[in-house]
Amino acid sequence: MKIICVRCKTFLGEQEPFDNLAEIKAKCSACITKDKEVASRFTPKPKPGQKQEVTLDNGLKGFLWVAQDKKDKLFIGELAVSGKKFHCSKYRRQEFQNHLGSLTGEDFEITLLHSITCKLDSLPKGRKKKQDPPKTEKPKKDDSIQYNCTFRAPRHYIQLVFDDMAVRMDKVTEILAEAAFKTYKEEQQKAAPKGDLSPMSGSKEADIPIP
Ligand SMILES: [Zn+2]
C-alpha cells in the first residue's frame, strides 16, 4: 500500500501488503508545518457555548462568545444593554437613555459585535470557458460566525459608548443618503426629456443645484 500526502500528493512510502495498490492517506512534515503556520495566524476564538476572557483596550475585562440565536445577533452599529438591543443613532438616544435610567444598579452588561468570520469559497481552478452555462447559485448555508463581546461597565460609560457609536453610524448614514440622492437626481435628469417639465421640477428637491 502506498502512503500519500493528502495535501501535496507526495509519495511518502510503502506499507504491507505491497501488492495492494490502495493509498493510505497521511500528511508530510512540510504540509504539517504549513498547516500549523496557518492555524497560528488566527487567535483562538471560543467555540459555541464557550466564553473566552478578553481584556479590552480600555482595561475592562470582558468575554467573547459566539452569537448563535437570532436574539443574540447584532447588526453593525447595534449594541445590547441588559439584553435589550439598540441601533446607535441620535434618533434613538432618548429611548436608550430611558432604558439605562430604568435599570437598577450602577454597572450593567453591555454587548457589542466583536467580529464576524466567514468561510470563503476557493475559486475554481483553470480558466472559465465562455461556453459554460452560467451556474445557478445554490442557496448557501450561512457559514459565518458572529462573535460578541460582553463586559460590565458603569452607566455613564455605557452612554459614552452609545454616543460614540451613534456619531459614527449617523455619519455613515449621511454618506449613504447623499450618494443615494445624487444617483436619484442623475436618474431623474436622464429620464426627463429635454425642454419638458419633469414632475419633480415644481418640488423643493428639484431646486437644489446639482454639483
Ligand atoms: Zn505534503
| CA-based nearest residue to 16, from 4, 27, 3 | 3
Residue 118 alpha carbon to ligand 1 centre in Å: 26
Measure 119 CA to ligand 1 centroid, in angstroms.
23
Say how many CA atoms lie within 13 Å of 173 toward its Cβ.
13
Query: What per-residue confidence (pLDDT) applies to 103?
Result: 94
Ligand 1 centroid–CA 188 distance in Å is 60
Ligand 1 centroid to 178 CA: how many Å?
53
Residue-wise DSSP of 157-178: HHHHHHHHHHHHHHHHHHHHHH
**Alpha carbons 14 and 32: distance in angstroms, whole number:** 20
Please give the grid coordinates belonging to residue 40.
497560528
In whole angstroms, what is the distance from residue 64 CA to residue 51 CA? 6
Q: Measured on CA atoms in the order 86, 90, 95, 101, is the torsion positive or negative? A: positive
Collapsed DSSP state (helix, strand, coil) of residue 2:
strand
How many angstroms does the Cα of residue 144 sit away from the middle of ligand 1? Answer: 29
The Å distance, Cα 143 to ligand 1 centre, comes to 27
| pLDDT value of residue 57 | 78
- Find the 31 Cα to ligand 1 centroid distance in Å: 4
Question: Is the CA virtual torsion 52, 54, 60, 66 positive or negative?
Answer: negative
CB atoms under 10 Å from CB of 30, counted, come to 12
Annotate 181-206 with b (16+ C-beta within 10 A) or e (fewer): eeeebeebeeeeeeeeeeebeeeeee
CA distance 83 to 99: 11
Q: What is the pLDDT of residue 45?
A: 78
The alpha carbon of 130 and the centre of ligand 1 are apart by a number of angstroms equal to 34
pLDDT score, position 142: 64
Span from the CA of 193 to the centroid of ligand 1 (angstroms): 66
Task: Using the mean position of ligand 1's atoms as its centre, give its distance from the Cα of residue 50 in Å.
Answer: 33
Amino acid identity, position 48: P
What's the rounded Cα separation, in Å, for the pair 30 and 64? 33
Entry pTM: 0.58
Closest by alpha carbon to 81, among 145, 146, 147, 151? 151
Residue corresponding to grid cell 446607535: 88
Ligand 1 centroid–CA 37 distance in Å is 14
Tens digit of each residue's pLDDT, the chain (211 residues):
999 999 999 999 998 898 988 899 899 999 999 888 887 766 667 888 899 998 887 788 999 999 988 999 999 899 999 889 999 999 999 999 999 999 999 899 999 998 888 766 655 555 555 555 555 555 556 678 899 999 999 999 999 999 999 999 999 989 999 999 999 999 998 887 665 554 554 444 555 555 5
Which phi and psi (to 5°) does residue 85 adopt? Answer: -90, 145
> In the chain, where are the structural domains located?
1-42, 44-119+143-192
